[in-house]
Amino acid sequence: MLTDQQILRIPGPTPIPPSAERAMSQPMTGHRGKNTSELISRIRPGLKRVFGTQQEVMILTGSGTAGLEMAVVNTVAPGEEVLVIVTGAFGDRFAKICKAYGIETHIFEEEWGKAADPVEVQRYLQEHPEITVVFSTFCETSTGVLNPIKQLASAVKEVSDALIIVDGVSCVAGTETEMDAWGVDIVVTGSQKAFMLPPGLAFIAASKRAWKKIEANPQPRFYLDLKKHLDNIVKDTTPFTPAISILYGLERVLELFEEEGLEKVYTRHRLMMKMTRAAFKAWEIPLLANDEDASPTVTAVKPADFEAEEFRKVMKEEFALELAGGQQHLAKEIFRIGHMGYCSPADMLQAIAAMEIGLVKVGKKVEVGKGIQAAQQVYLNEGKVLA
């Protein structure tokens, strides 16, 4: 087969736009020089638009998990009690970070593959008024579920003053995020998902309410000290050496978002989700999440009559097309398709037509053409929304 081709359809990292690749390959520059501060000044407004906030969006050099830990150590004071909404492996990660700091951590766990119910979360908070911070994932990457953050934030606010902290790693920039309007206190995301960049940067913003708590919080921190980052970003710099190449890529990606239009970016992601789901429905292969809970950026599939791992292997061998497996107890039970970032409806036509062949190869009885046809029909019915 054609070597040197990789069709990356995992839920991040995603392929990188050629112009972002080019931007990242420009000569290295000093991180305390004018070049870098001008670069950061150009980046700041675009990041705010993606987050839907008037607040500063800080740029942390680290992976998404560093961003999650940053959210924890800056907001939770020793002795406080927090609630973590767990709908999958990344909700679980929030809980693990809290526990690592000895924080008394309430877990509100939903069956993996379902979104958290704001009413039930609200009830839990009413029963536990001592909770000061609520953590939730936005898109749960491990299950392809999009938690209803707007409704969750609203439900929390009705009964509690707890801060609302959101892990938006695998969906911010791929789905509407209105941090200010929804009353979310902290949003964290990373560079390698819908931002279509290499891993290496995390982005994090805090509400005015959060900043009060952060500034009063005695929890020790240094590299992850949000206030240090805030004091620097307003001066177009970072407290510690940033991943400069990725910053150049970020500038370009933010331009691409503007060129396409952020609303269209979100619509494109939703269309790719619908195409993917339509195909699996046509093949009568169970999707892990139902339509209401489905994420526009990643789809998890739970096959009943073939091996997920075998299917992934075939896709890699036949088409160099990489799909993700499951995590934790869903490992080997599911596979996941990323449709985010640098990914178009044409790319999903490719992935779906190829997966249909892969299904035949693993012995799944499918009528060849039926799944891709369903996806094509979704595009024909709804593709004009991208125009």
C-beta closer to a second copy: residue 112 or 335: 335
C-beta closer to a second copy: residue 165 or 265: 265
* Least CB distance to a second copy at residue 201 (A): 19
> For residues 297 and 379, what is the distance between their CA atoms, to the nearest angstrom?
17
List residues bridging with 188 in a β-sheet.
Answer: 167, 204
Question: Residues at the annotated binding site?
Answer: 336
C-beta closer to a second copy: residue 77 or 320: 320
| CA angle in degrees (0–180, nearest 5) for 313-317-322 | 65
* Least CB distance to a second copy at residue 360 (A): 6
C-beta closer to a second copy: residue 225 or 347: 347
C-beta closer to a second copy: residue 294 or 343: 343
* Least CB distance to a second copy at residue 3 (A): 5
* Least CB distance to a second copy at residue 43 (A): 18
Contact residues for a second copy, defined by CB under 8 A: 1-5, 7, 17-20, 25, 256, 259-260, 264, 268, 317-321, 342-347, 349-350, 352-354, 356-357, 360-361, 368-370, 372-373, 375-377, 379-380, 383, 386-387
Phi, psi dihedrals of residue 62, rounded to the nearest 5°: 165, 175
* Least CB distance to a second copy at residue 193 (A): 15
Q: How far is residue 43 from each of residues 79, 142, 251, 308, measured CA to CA in Å?
A: 37, 30, 6, 40
Nearest CA to 299 out of 329, 321, 255, 269 is that of 269
Question: Residues at the annotated binding site for substrate?
Answer: 336
C-beta closer to a second copy: residue 107 or 357: 357
C-beta closer to a second copy: residue 216 or 346: 346
**Tokens 């206190």 belong to residue:** 185
* Least CB distance to a second copy at residue 145 (A): 24
> For residues 101 and 287, what is the distance between their CA atoms, to the nearest angstrom?
36
* Least CB distance to a second copy at residue 39 (A): 19
